[in-house]
Structure 1
Amino acid sequence: MLGKTFILIPFLATFFAQTSLGSSLTDEKQELRDDEDEEENDYWQGIPFGEEDFAEVRRFVKLFYIDSSYDKRLAWVMAANYALQELSPRYELLPSDFYQKAKKQKKDRYGGKVRKLDAKDQFVLHEVGERGRRLPKVVDLTRLKKLKDEERREQEALEKAFLTIPFGEADFQRVMAFVKERAKEAGTKDFSKFYIAATTGYVQSLDPHSAILPARAWDESTRNTEDASFEGIGAVLTKKGEDTIIETPMEGQPAHKAGLRAGDIIIAVDGKSVVGMPLSKVVKRIRGPKGTKVRLTIRRVGEVKDLEFEIVRDRIEVRNVQARLLDNHPDIGYVKLGGFIQGATSAVKSAISDLVEKTKGRRLRGLVLDLRNNAGGLLEEAISLADEFLDEGVIVSVKNPSDRDETYRAKKGAYTFPVVVLINAGTASAAEILASALQENKRAVIIGERSFGKASVQTLLHPLLRRDYYIKLTVARYYGPSGRTIQVTGVIPDVECPEDPDSKERPAFREEDLFHHLSQIPSSYAPVQEDVVSHLRSCVQRQGLAQRIYKADPTPQIKPDYQLLVALDYLECMIQTQGG
């Protein structure tokens, strides 16, 4: 049996998620990568999975899950519901009273055929067909937030209704008998997908970070976090309403060389309109093999007519660790860490050493460590990297109900230069451990937006006799140096700074937006760096350049990174204060 300790957000836990709003609320932004596609690979295909496998997963839950008193009734309900959703037409399990009330309020939503397995049952099977909870093709983020809130309220009402009726393993078995019967009528002989769905539902009832994962899917997702390359034009796109907008071209890449600018709206690709098209489909149309051409029709502010750009695709390198010395800030380094994969600490140390070699005096004056959109990874990598920046103090404590607590303390670190850390809503788990360790030990100033807020630890387990899938279970919580947990609350930056000071705040997707997340534990934690930040703020107001640089060119080709500009203002003031 394999056990690995991970602390990351659930990028693969939603294979059979029945609520359509869950993972779609992340910031809708993509690099043009060759592996982006609107069609999800069926990684479970060819993996046999039956009743015995489902039973084995439940045994693992009993042995390893953080909360032995989890709601078993809800687990059986979700197992049944997920299996029913795999039928064609689809069905859903609803409490009888809930169904009767809901039908009166939403006839279109609950107008399908209904049947009972037994007259005495207090639940019904409702034929959903192809209807159900769906997002409109185009929706702004404010509307998306409202839809998500409506979905949450309905889901909570449904789960509350299930608490009033009996439903256990025997009821689940009767539902599965119905599922198998319908599947046989449709000519299906292999019931694997129904048991995979049932198992997924059971495990998803625990918390959003527990899951069963095909080994191939896990391995592929890990490779995508590592250094890689893709073929495309080299631009970051974002979706705003019906428009696909170039967030920024990547410097030196085909999009940049062709003359595309931040803020350009893509109207058509190879002569075909992409207005209102999902972002993933736009990406699919633009990407392609190296050396081939793609023609983009662009609408640009200030131009009377739409512009045409013919761009030759190229191979673009993507690195888990990216590092450079920053222009106009002598001997100040920048390191961006994409994820805490195996060897991440060594890669960061190597990158810093390379930066030091490029400085005039063979030393860095300061460092910006960019953890934005770092979704986490290996616990030990987060601890070892934090240790490089700290001389003493607690890094993190891990508390497991069945084992003794573990507290990880810093030893003499390698670096003494001032540090600023950048975070946002995509900063999660292992990245939050590093950020909170540096913040609470007063080693770095944290700048940006509140982080994701996931303070739980998962272990990756192999079933006893299989190697084609994993069981990922939440086994512990982690706590910062002060003894508080950032579950739900996230890391609060010392300096709140939006991505774009001129735009309205966009709804972000965080832990609190996930169904069945671990509860928040209240704490009396008070910010530890208020005095330091207050002093630095005065310096930044006098000498800071971020606002001036950002406002200097209202239509830049490459969009300035405002949060990085602010981070540099604070870092320069930190260096000045410390006499660097």
Structure 2
Amino acid sequence: MTNKRNNLIPFAFLMAAVSLGGCATNEGYRPESSTQQVSRQISTEQEEFLQVLSQVKQSHIFNTNIEAEKFWQGSLNRYLLQLDPERLALSQADINEIEKQHPEFSTLIAAGAISSAYQVGELYKQAATINLETAQNLVHDISLADFYGPLNSQEWAADAGQLRLRWKQHLTHDLRKLTRSGLTNSEATHVLEKSLQHQIERLKHSDNDQYFNTLVSSIMKHLDPWSRYFPAPSKDYSDSSLVGIGVALKEDTGLVQITKILPDSPAPTSTLKVGDRLVSLRHDQGPVVDLAGINLDEAVETLAAKKGAHTELTVIRDGAKIPILIQHKEVKIPLDRVSRYIEVIGLENQNFKIGVVKAPSFYSSPVSSADDIRAALKYIQNNHADGLIIDLRNNVGSILAESLKTSDLFLPLHSPMAIVNTDERWKVYDAFSEPQIQLPTVILVNENTAFGSETLTSALQEHGLAVVIGRRTSGNGIFCQSKKTKTGAVCIASAALYKINGESLTGKGIEPDLSLKLYPADILSAEKVTSPYNDYLLDSTDSVYSNESPRFDYSHLQTQHEQRVKSDPTLQLYNQYQNALAERELKGYLLDDASYLRLQNQINELELRWNEMGQPDVEMQETLRLFAELLALKK
């Protein structure tokens, strides 16, 4: 490894260049006029295509050889899968026919002949339209009396007959889910019909621009999980007089469902709740708009209205249709800032005062998360705490500069904090000031603790300054660099984070010193405990720091924790409740009505008991208990 100890990269550069899981930026886009859009020729898109590949060749951290024939093998299948990710619009027979007509697809695309993607796109449109229309005809033939096994989206249906059977299975599952959410059979059938009709309409309007964007996206997806292509926006969203209602949404079985309600927006002042499914709306006594079958983009556009406008929403909740009136106002996205508090934990005739700093994200504007953490640490010190917990659960750590500034609050001057590799140009980041706090420290993490949060956790763990409790972290040590292209932008995985002991964070994550065993096995499935980045492991590099101190033996505390999980009433109730919710989510559509009703009654009973307990944060409670036990051992 070359000499890493150069000057630190300026924080401003890091904040501009780093983004977790893709660089979602529209910076630099200047929407073309309609005349310019019409006059665009294939040569312009070829230039864009070749520019994207050039950027990949220059910057990709995994050194993928995009000039090799092997890279382009399977391009047609990847392109079609990007067009039809659920494998419900095409059969293997359709794909075989497309391959017959375009046997040289991969070779042509590798050479920049992207017109073949447009031709394949049109063939896809024709076949998919026929198959979706066939599915439409099936809607009235399905019966809730029929039960099928789990849905299979890992393989293409062999032919039209197999695809028809798959659609029947899919529609039956969706009909059952919709009727169990409170719709009548005819209302649920209407949702399915509208959903298919919207899919067909969107398909009919597919054009070369969409085929091009899909092609490039399929190539970027083939590179790694991080790299992304961002085409120029197809619509102008600059009309500031239109505002939404302050909710986050997701698509769910032909309807859109509320997943989050923002404070300081119209939604909290209404009776909207997380989990509500939107059925229809009416703006200011206008016509009723049916929301069945629309996608997220269409939902956002439909929900928007002028400031001060009144909208009546109809939602489905707990089996009932509920009308809700909302007045539109400007929605401000809140900054989820650092918070702090003190907990007193009694243990064996001793009281331990533990300060908790919750950092749900790292941010740099309009204020700095590192500065907020510094202020929280000062508060905790002034309250004479015996120990400190830093809660980094679900902190994706997208701003590395803030992570390093936070690490600096704990580490001695000139201590290494992290290593970054950018195209074999190695940098070690050292602490640049004296530590601001010296307290026994625990860091609480989970599978969504990522990137800069993993850097902070690793630095304190390796220096022996913190005990890590929770579940293995994300293993997302890659950051992307965004670059403009002729008409859009790319975000390319261009650098990797390493622990100071030389190990790559990517694909490995950080193993906690004490593992929380709160989640039942069927909830914490293999997909959740295995990093999605395991296929992108990077070789270790030279260590810049080695902690020679003997590691503390946590096995006794681990055993006590696991025994508590089996005997503590609160933890038992928590596990039963989570198990039941998981069974409904993952297997509910496979249950007959009687079994589903029993499961739902069980959930209602467990939810009532859980609410009576105040919905405690059992992970934090158990972490506080483990920390107090650790402090008692070390006293």
Whether TM exceeds 0.5 here: the answer is yes
Alignment match of 1:115 (pick from 98, 101, 108):
101
Q: Is the 8 A contact 1:79 1:197 kept in 2?
A: no
1:455-470 to structure 2, matched below 5 A, reads: 455-462=477-484, 469-470=488-489
Find the counterpart in structure 2 of residue 319 from structure 1.
Answer: 335
Letter in structure 2 aligned against 1:424: N
Partner of 1:518: 536
Q: Are residue 8 (structure 1) and residue 4 (structure 2) matched?
A: no
Partner residue, 2:510: 491
| Residue of structure 2 in register with 1:209 after alignment | 226
Shift of 1:556: 0.8
2:616 is the alignment partner of 1:560: yes
Alignment of 1:73-152 (within 5 A): 73-76=69-72, 106-107=92-93, 110=96, 114-116=100-102, 127-129=123-125, 147=153
Structure 2 residue 47 is the aligned partner of structure 1 residue 52: yes
Contact 2:420 2:495 (C-alpha < 8 Å) held by counterparts: yes
Letter in 2 for 1:213: F
Q: What's the CA shift for 1:571?
A: 3.1
Quick one: distance in 2 between partners of 1:191 and 1:519? 36
Checking the alignment, whether the CA contact within 8 Å between 1:78 and 1:202 is kept in structure 2 is: no
Kindly state the Cα deviation for residue 371 of structure 1 after the two structures are TM-superposed: 2.6
Residue identity over aligned pairs, in percent, reads 18
Shift in alpha-carbon separation, 1:578–1:211, aligned structure 2, 3 A: same
Long gaps (5+) in structure 1: 16-40, 93-102, 152-185, 221-229, 300-304
Distance 2:289 2:321 in 1: 14
Tell me if the contact between 2:22 and 2:491 (Cα under 8 Å) persists in the aligned partners. no
Task: Provide the C-alpha distance between the structure 2 equivalents of 1:117 and 1:63, rounded to a whole number of angstroms.
Answer: 30
Secondary structure at 1:432 match in 2: helix
Structural mapping, 1:221-232, within 5 Å: none
The whole-number CA distance in structure 2 between the counterparts of 1:545 and 1:85 is 45
Q: Does 1:573 align with 2:629?
A: yes
Which one is further off, 500-509 or 243-252?
A: 243-252
Q: Name the CA distance, whole Å, in 1 between partners of 2:526 and 2:510.
A: 17
2:495 match: secondary structure: strand
8 A Cα contact 1:377 1:430, kept in partner: yes
Distance 2:521 2:220 in 1: 42
Greater per-residue helix proportion: 2
2:359 paired residue among 336, 347, 353:
336
Q: Which residue identity does 1:564 align to in structure 2?
A: M
Q: Does 1:383 align with 2:404?
A: yes
Q: Which has the higher Rg, Structure 1 or Structure 2?
A: 2
| TM-score (norm: length of structure 2) | 0.55
SS at match of 1:376: coil
Deviation at 1:429, TM superposition (A): 2.0
Q: Is the 8 A contact 2:480 2:493 kept in 1?
A: yes
Q: Against the structure 1 CA distance between its residues 486 and 347, is the aligned structure 2 distance closer, same or farther, given a 3 Å change threshold?
A: closer
Deviation string, structure 1 residues 241-275 (Cα, Å, up to 9, x no partner): 9999999999999999999999x887978899999
Q: Hey, what's the Cα distance between the residues in 2 that align with 1:187 and 1:266? A: 27
Q: How does 1:204-283 map to 2 (within 5 A)?
A: 204-213=221-230
Q: Contact 1:345–1:381 (CA<8 Å) still a contact in 2?
A: no
2:453 to 414, 425, 431: 431
Deviation sequence 1:202-257 (CA, Å, 0-9, x none): 5444333233435889xx9xxxxxxxxx97587x9999999999999999999999
Report how far residue 398 of structure 1 moved. 1.9
Q: Which amino acid aligns with 1:554?
A: R
More relative contact order in 1 or in 2 (CA 8 Å, sep 6+)? 1
Indicate the residue corresponding to 1:65 in structure 2: 60
Change in CA separation of 1:343 and 1:117 when aligned onto 2, cut-off 3 Å: same
Find the aligned partners of 2:615 and 2:290 in 1 and give their Cα distance. Answer: 25
Task: State whether residues 455 and 478 of structure 1, in contact with CA within 8 Å, keep that contact through their aligned partners in structure 2.
Answer: yes
Unaligned runs of 5+ in 2: 1-12, 110-115, 140-148, 157-203, 238-242, 282-287, 346-352, 575-607
> Contact (CA 8 Å) 1:210, 1:474: kept in 2 or not?
yes
Contact 1:64 1:475 in 2 (8 A): yes
Q: Distance in 1 between matches of 2:615 and 2:291?
A: 23
CA distance in 1, matches of 2:493, 2:527: 24
Aligned partners of 1:199, 1:335: CA distance in 2, in Å?
39
Which stretch of structure 1 is more off in the superposition, 492-501 or 449-458? 492-501
In 1, distance between residues paired with 2:150 and 2:342?
39
Contact 1:386 1:395 in 2 (8 A): yes
Hey, which of these two has a bigger chunk of strand by percent?
Answer: 1
Task: Give the TM-score of the pair, scaled to structure 1.
Answer: 0.59
